[in-house]
Structure 1
Amino acid sequence: MKKKINIQFMAVSALAVIITAITSMILFYNIFQNQVFDDIRAYDHVIQPLKQSFWDLPENRERLEEDGLRITLIAENGKVVYDTAVDVETMENHKNRPEIQEAMEEGEGTSVRWSSTSSLHTLYYAEKLENGQILRVGKDSENIFRIMINTVSIALVLSVLIVVLCVLLSHVLTKRLLLPIEKLASNLDGVNQDNIYDEIKPFIQTIKEQHINILNSAKMRQEFTANVSHELKTPLTAISGYAELIGSGMADEKDTKRFAEEIHHGSDRLLTLINDIIKLSELDCEDLEFDFEQVDLYVAAQSCLDMMDVQASKQDVTLSLKGEHCTVVANRNLMDELLYNLCSNAVRYNNRGGSVTVTVKPINGKVMLSVKDTGIGIPKEHQERVFERFYRVDKSRSKQSGGTGLGLAIVKHIVAQHNAEITLESEQGKGTEIKILF
């Protein structure tokens, strides 16, 4: 990753330097060309008053040649009348030359082209005189190109230096950029966020939070595994013990019947526990998708209370349903599971002669499900933890009543699957009410 970022930095830097150098050279050439044209125009204005005999003086011809200047006088018909560099008899008609045509039409003209006469690129400035002739001054580009070559050389050296500097800077910046991320691999808590870029602080924080969540998740799973092992061990030990007594013939007929009932009770507890664990595993699976449909909560609650009637009668608990028919988009099986766990807990932890009231009604465009009992209640210090797996307020009563300690954990997961809200209100000795808002 570091190598890739370095290469990308260097490529961007090199491209920027090349583009800058080329653009600068083009701008420099245009500026220099305009400056040369301005100089030639000034020469032309100085030369115009001078007579041809002045140009023919040997010392003046030598000076013009040294300065790279060439003076040409062209008649209206394009015939070359005079030239300081070449014999006019050997020169072709100049009427079609761009600078001559432009000067005839607009009074002055310029052009840059390869001169077959001087074998150089030449910059020309032509001006129409009052007598109709065209006075043209040319300047050979030999000096210009020499300057351009020198400039290019300097630009290339500077470009190389800049690229080398960019390579060094990219190495330093890449190292500084990736240093906090590299530290995360060895020590998540050792990253000092004061020395990193503000832009990657959210990324570092997210990684830390994910790491904490993973650790918490691992800890929860470890605790869950230990709790499952413990919960399974107790009934299995009892079943194994009773079975061993029966198998050894040490138990009489009366004890055998009692032991068989205990084995049956332990088996039921094991099945209930295993079913709850399977259900929690399904709810924990992120890839598992549930089918949602229109579910009448009032009808589902009535079915649940009908199923709980026998269990409630054994504990002398009265069941009642209030409210009205309300439809929610939900998974029907999960709704049945949620109602069963809430109502089962309400009956299991109730007092004899107590009651359980289930209410379904609309509230502010939402649907509220309430399960209220007149049972033993939950102390305040335990209310925040009752939705944890295997957490029991009264462990002895929970086991005697057949509770697995997973019912409310399953309820919490089902509520989360439906993006609902759950609240708990309880007072010790007076009962508990759990509300779910869909």
Structure 2
Amino acid sequence: MTKKIFLGIISICVISMLAAIFLITAGLYGRSAEVAASEVKTNARLIASAVEQGGGVYLERTDFGKDIRVTWINSDGKVIYDSEEDPDVLENHSDREEVSKALESGEGSASRYSSTIMQKTVNHAVRLADGSVIRVSGVHSSLMAELVKVINPMLGILAAVVFFSVLAASMVSRNIVKPINDIDLAHPKIKKNYKELAPLLEKLRTQNNKVSRQMDELQSSREQFSLMTESMTEGLIITDPKLIVLACNSSALRLLGAGSFTKGQSIYALNNSDVFRHCLLNALGGRRSECILRTGNGQREVIASPANSIDMVCGLVVFIMDVTEKQELETMRREFTSNVSHELKTPLTTIYGIADMLANGMVQSGDVAEFGGNIRSEAERLINLINDIVSLSKLDEDTAPRESESVELYSLAEEVLERLSLSAEEKGVTASISGERVSLLGSRTILSEVLYNLCDNAIKYNVSGGSLSVKISHVPQRAIITVSDTGMGIPKQYIGRIFERFYRVDKSRSSRIKGTGLGLSIVKHGVIYHNGTVSVKSEEGKGTVFTVELPIEKKQHNEE
């Protein structure tokens, strides 16, 4: 704006100066032309009067100088005398305008312009009494010649005018623009500026207030969005069509195992695996895409949904969920189903085979009792398996009876060992109990199953002539149950898996030992039910020690 004002003022000054110079020069030229014509006319009349009185002698004796040219022409147009040229070489002048006018009316004037010398010739002719004509010619410079004469001083004046115009234009333009530049756009004040700007400033102030409110609302919405997304355990990523990240919560970085990341980077900076890329590219194609992504921290389910605008994808919304536990549970479910099917199939196959033999009369009467015992043994195995599955299912689903009674562990352990005395005697295992009487609040049924399965395993996996010992003790606020045996022990690499359902360290050897394979799983869940912990120490060939720690005052589930 300053530049435009500056150039405008300069242009006006220069144009005005040039116009003034031209008009003044033209005015002076017009005045000088009138004076020149008047002088030529006066000279013509004087010379004509002198010729009337003195004849040609006057012309011959008089020196007219270089300013005027005198020519005497007879009535036929032939030149009789010329002050500058030989009359004999001059052409007939009867066709000259001023001569023809003088012959007709007594006097005549005319002017002619010469582009060669840029001069104008002013002519005036007077008719004498004898019919001849005296013509006087004077030279007057043209307007262009006059302009050429004054060009140098004019350029000097123009330069001075331009210089002062530049200074004035600079000052004026700055003074004009300064109030505009000084406007506080955030808080415009109408009274301190041009009145002409009042409508604009009022509208600007209104727009500022509106924008300020919208910015506050936008900031509030952004903070709410950030608060909500940051409180999510699931990862959330929003990208543009070029997969540049527009928004990303911390859960997404944690789940994808990404380190430092800033918005504006490509989503592939978070994860660049083929599975992830394929999932995102499918979503960019306009359809919802899902995949399971394996990272160093577990398994992640990725759901990429396109954000559609009319007929084009304007971005992606990507959800990331931790499905490690879900996948593990699904794996455990499949393994559990497979193991249950196998464990149920074995006794059922035996029962079916024996029953088929009995039905077809293939068993001798003396062997019926033995086959019936086998059927009972397999049926008992099925019942135990089903009972264990039901107990484990109740503990898994937290549907076990809610019991809160005082349980004295020492006497409970004595009851368990009494129930297992026959099994210990058959195996040749010596069972013993020691310690102190410790009571706690809990479920007597579940604690009985925990002790029973620990002691039962200590007998089944013991060596003939081995020993089993149960010790009850306590530390402040915690009861401790220790079950140790002198059995075959557990290899160190398998200790971490013995609490899995149906897991057997040595399947060939374990298949010869009666059991459902669910005992230690029931122990684990029963201890968790009482907010306790179970640990195991074992050395192959030397025996195993299970240690259960339970809070003496058990907190009830779902309190709070």
Give the shorter-chain TM-score range.
Answer: 0.5 to 0.7
Amino acid in the other structure paired with 2:348: L
Distance in 1, matches of 2:490 and 2:245, equals: 43
Describe the shift of the 1:182–1:427 C-alpha distance in structure 2 as closer, same or farther (beyond 3 A): closer
- Describe the SS at the equivalent of 2:453: helix
Amino acid in the other structure paired with 2:406: Q
Distance in 2, matches of 1:337 and 1:327, equals: 17
> Aligned match of 1:374 in 478, 486, 490?
486
Describe the shift of the 1:147–1:299 C-alpha distance in structure 2 as closer, same or farther (beyond 3 A): farther
**1:429 maps to which residue?**
541
Distance in 2, matches of 1:409 and 1:194, equals: 47
Percent identical: 36
Q: How does 1:110-149 map onto structure 2 within 5 Å?
A: none
Deviation at 1:292, TM superposition (A): 2.4
Distance in 2, matches of 1:193 and 1:181, equals: 19
Q: Does 1:237 align with 2:287?
A: no
RCO higher in structure (CA 8 A, sep ≥6)? 1
Q: How does 1:260-271 map onto structure 2 within 5 Å?
A: 260-271=372-383
Q: Any runs of at least 4 consecutive aligned residues in structure 1 with deviations exceeding 4 A, and if so which?
A: 145-151, 159-178, 180-185, 191-195, 199-209
Gaps of 5+ in 1: 1-23, 36-142, 186-190
Distance in 1, matches of 2:523 and 2:244, equals: 41
**1:156 maps to which residue?**
206
Amino acid in the other structure paired with 2:383: L
Normalized against structure 2, the TM-score is what? 0.47
**2:112 maps to which residue?**
none
Distance in 2, matches of 1:431 and 1:402, equals: 19
**Cα deviations by residue, 1:260-293 (Å, 9 ceiling, x for unpaired):** 2211111011011111111110011046563223
**1:322 maps to which residue?**
434
Deviation at 1:330, TM superposition (A): 1.8
Amino acid in the other structure paired with 2:496: E
**1:120 maps to which residue?**
none
Amino acid in the other structure paired with 2:353: G
Q: How does 1:347-386 map onto structure 2 within 5 Å?
A: 347-386=459-498
Distance in 1, matches of 2:398 and 2:202, equals: 64
Q: How does 1:215-226 map onto structure 2 within 5 Å?
A: 215-226=327-338
Distance in 2, matches of 1:363 and 1:170, equals: 54
- Tell me if the contact between 1:181 and 1:204 (Cα under 8 Å) persists in the aligned partners: no
**1:196 maps to which residue?**
248
Q: Does 1:405 align with 2:517?
A: yes
- Describe the SS at the equivalent of 1:400: coil
> Aligned match of 1:285 in 397, 405, 410?
397
- Tell me if the contact between 1:373 and 1:431 (Cα under 8 Å) persists in the aligned partners: yes
- Tell me if the contact between 2:485 and 2:545 (Cα under 8 Å) persists in the aligned partners: yes
**Cα deviations by residue, 1:317-364 (Å, 9 ceiling, x for unpaired):** 111110010112221111001011011111111112111100001235
Q: How does 1:2-401 map onto structure 2 within 5 Å?
A: 151-159=201-209, 196-198=248-250, 201=253, 210-286=322-398, 290-401=402-513
- Tell me if the contact between 2:235 and 2:253 (Cα under 8 Å) persists in the aligned partners: no
Distance in 1, matches of 2:523 and 2:385, equals: 15
Distance in 2, matches of 1:222 and 1:167, equals: 52
Gaps of 5+ in 2: 1-185, 238-242, 258-299, 302-319, 551-560
**2:554 maps to which residue?**
none
**Structure with more of its chain in helix, by fraction:** 1
Amino acid in the other structure paired with 2:355: A
- Tell me if the contact between 1:193 and 1:201 (Cα under 8 Å) persists in the aligned partners: no
Describe the shift of the 1:289–1:166 C-alpha distance in structure 2 as closer, same or farther (beyond 3 A): farther
**Cα deviations by residue, 1:22-75 (Å, 9 ceiling, x for unpaired):** xx98x979xx8xx9xxxxxxxxxxxxxxxxxxxxxxxxxxxxxxxxxxxxxxxx
**Cα deviations by residue, 1:211-234 (Å, 9 ceiling, x for unpaired):** 111111111111111110011011
- Describe the SS at the equivalent of 2:511: helix
Distance in 2, matches of 1:194 and 1:148, equals: 41
Deviation at 1:399, TM superposition (A): 3.3
- Tell me if the contact between 2:470 and 2:481 (Cα under 8 Å) persists in the aligned partners: yes
- Once superposed, what is the RMSD of the aligned Cα atoms? 4.3
Describe the shift of the 1:318–1:171 C-alpha distance in structure 2 as closer, same or farther (beyond 3 A): closer
Distance in 1, matches of 2:235 and 2:417, equals: 57
**Cα deviations by residue, 1:128-176 (Å, 9 ceiling, x for unpaired):** xxxxxxxxxxxxxxx9x99987644222234556678899999999999
Normalized against structure 1, the TM-score is what? 0.58
Deviation at 1:408, TM superposition (A): 0.4
**1:103 maps to which residue?**
none
Q: Give the paired residue count.
A: 299
- Tell me if the contact between 2:427 and 2:464 (Cα under 8 Å) persists in the aligned partners: yes
Describe the shift of the 1:163–1:336 C-alpha distance in structure 2 as closer, same or farther (beyond 3 A): same
Amino acid in the other structure paired with 1:412: K
Larger Rg: 2
Amino acid in the other structure paired with 2:405: E
